[in-house]
Structure 1
Amino acid sequence: MSAHPTGLRLKVCGMREAANIAALATLEPDFLGFIFYPKSSRFAGAHLTPESLAHLPASIRKVGVFVDAPVADILARTTELGLNMVQLHGAETPAECQALKAVGLTVIKAIAVGEQLDQTALLPYIGHVDYFLFDTAGSQPGGNGTAFNWALLEQYNLPVPYFLAGGLELAQADALRNLRLPGLFALDLNSKFELAPGLKDVAKLRQMFTTIRSAFPAGTISSQTKSE
């Protein structure tokens, strides 16, 4: 496997203000992620309304990020806000992932990566998730703001494409644009592109998008994602 032939996708995660979301949309990211974990400093909570997302282009996939939330609660939130996808950062089981897929949601299962990546632990999720997201293990379920050793992914051999997360920043742009890791589908950008928690630096993200897209031509959303 290699980087997706129609381009490395870009996801920005952790917004909650309508004006900031609208400004980000002008960059045409492939995915925008909204965090529904109350302990996160980027918790969307009541800040996010259906109106704040209603005018996003259909090409931008809207992702709800959850940590060990009941399936019923996830479905209620995704229905209310018209989200296309869910990203699960807790101990969600393959059965819970399948329950969300069964109603038409695209499912991303986040995997915390430390000094090693045990691919055998991922096998039960194959067929029940659309993507993995590899993030750096830390004190929080996600958003710890540090990178792990990307070389751990050089031997990735599972049929599930993945998002790369974990402290990605503009200083790494050249290294990221040269990545040719098997299975790599998208980059997940968050804490290193902020003016404050939950408020993204659009100018800085524009630089990152330009650099990455010069190496990976932009393409359409993968057929593996669900239509609205």
Structure 2
Amino acid sequence: MKLKVCGMKYRENIETVAGLQPDYLGFIFYEKSPRNFNQDIPELPETIKKTGVFVDASIDFILEKVEKYNFKAIQLHGNESAEYCKELANTINRSDESGRNKIEIFKVFSIKDEFDFEILNPYEGIVDYFLFDTKGKEKGGNGYTFDWNVLKNYNSTTPFILSGGIGLQEIEKIKAILKTDLPIYAVDVNSKLEIKPGLKNIRDLEEFKNKIAVIPA
């Protein structure tokens, strides 16, 4: 299972978090977010996939950021349609022989107590991963989890990323859900492992990474 750390903002903190070798680091380009990113990204190890996070942005805006920062993944956190996602994938025009996008595309869907998984059908075969976050006041970073029991009704083979208020207190819940046959690709952490918006708590993040690293696959 992969680890994505999202909402990075401060240069020194970015470099320190990168030293922990997460699989993905997320940078948010949404002016209403307290974690909005508007600076240069320091040099990172090639093993870390830099991820641009966007909310209902134009495709041109996303392409501009992809070219500037050399993103390897794009996370769509707004109301982007399947048609939009297809146009973005075709515009990036970097699919490999397997049909997957070389620049990965994550499509976010927010959940609270229930969710109609039929909504995902138009996105199948277009995006690489779904990301399930907590429905709340903010576009991410709400600090609490949704009811993971909802995922028992997930009937797709598309792997997904589990997000929304995940921190050290959720380790046992992660252990439990990984015992199911759900196609969980990664966990995404943000606000629960922060000192303030955009500034990650290195000690807690390292503890979290070490604990999920020993969870049996």
Q: Normalising by structure 2, what TM-score? A: 0.90
Which residue matches 1:207? 207
Aligned to 1:118: 116
Q: CA RMSD in A?
A: 1.3
Of 70, 73, 76, the residue aligned with 1:85 is 73
Distance across 2 between alignment mates of 1:174 and 1:119: 25
- The answer to whether the 8 Å contact 2:117/2:153 transfers is no
Q: Name the CA distance, whole Å, in 1 between partners of 2:216 and 2:186.
A: 11
> 1:173 aligned to 2:171?
yes
Give the deviation of 1:173 after TM superposition. 1.3
1 CA distance for matches of 2:139 and 2:183? 23
- Structure 2 equivalent of residue 26 of structure 1: 19
User: Among 135, 139, 161, which residue is 2:133 paired with?
Assistant: 135
Identical counterparts, % of pairs: 40
CA contact (8 A) 1:88 1:109 kept: yes
Give the counterpart of 1:71 among 59, 62, 66: 59
Letter in 1 for 2:65: R
Distance 1:32 1:216 in 2: 23
1:187 counterpart residue number:
187
Q: One-letter code of the match for 1:12? A: V
CA distance in 1, matches of 2:173, 2:126: 32
Distance 2:183 2:85 in 1: 20
Work out whether residues 3 and 24 of structure 2, in 8 Å CA contact, stay in contact via their aligned partners in 1. yes
Deviation at 1:145, TM superposition (A): 1.3
Match of 2:3 in 1: 10
1-side partners of 2:16 and 2:139: how far apart?
Answer: 27
Divergent runs of 4+, >4 A: none
> Are the aligned partners of 1:177 and 1:211 in contact in 2 as well (CA < 8 Å)?
no
Matched position secondary structure for 1:107:
strand
Is the CA contact (8 Å cut-off) linking 1:178 and 1:215 kept in structure 2? Answer: no
Task: Give TM-score, length-normalised by structure 1.
Answer: 0.86
Structure 2 spans left out of the alignment, 5+ residues: 95-102
1:158-180 residue CA offsets vs partner (Å, 9 max, x unmatched): 12111111101111112213322
Query: 2-side partners of 1:206 and 1:140: how far apart?
Result: 26
The match for 1:37 among 27, 30, 47 is 30
Specify the SS of the correspondent of 1:148: coil
Q: Cα distance, 1:18 vs. partner?
A: 1.4
* 1: CA distance, partners of 2:169 / 2:140: 21
Greater relative CO (CA pairs within 8 A, separation 6+): 1
Q: Secondary structure at the match of 1:186?
A: strand
- Describe the shift of the 1:70–1:195 C-alpha distance in structure 2 as closer, same or farther (beyond 3 A): same
Give the residue type in structure 2 aligned to 1:108: F
1:117: Cα distance to partner?
Answer: 1.7
Q: Which amino acid aligns with 2:144?
A: T
How far did residue 216 of structure 1 move? 4.2
Match of 1:161 in 2: 159
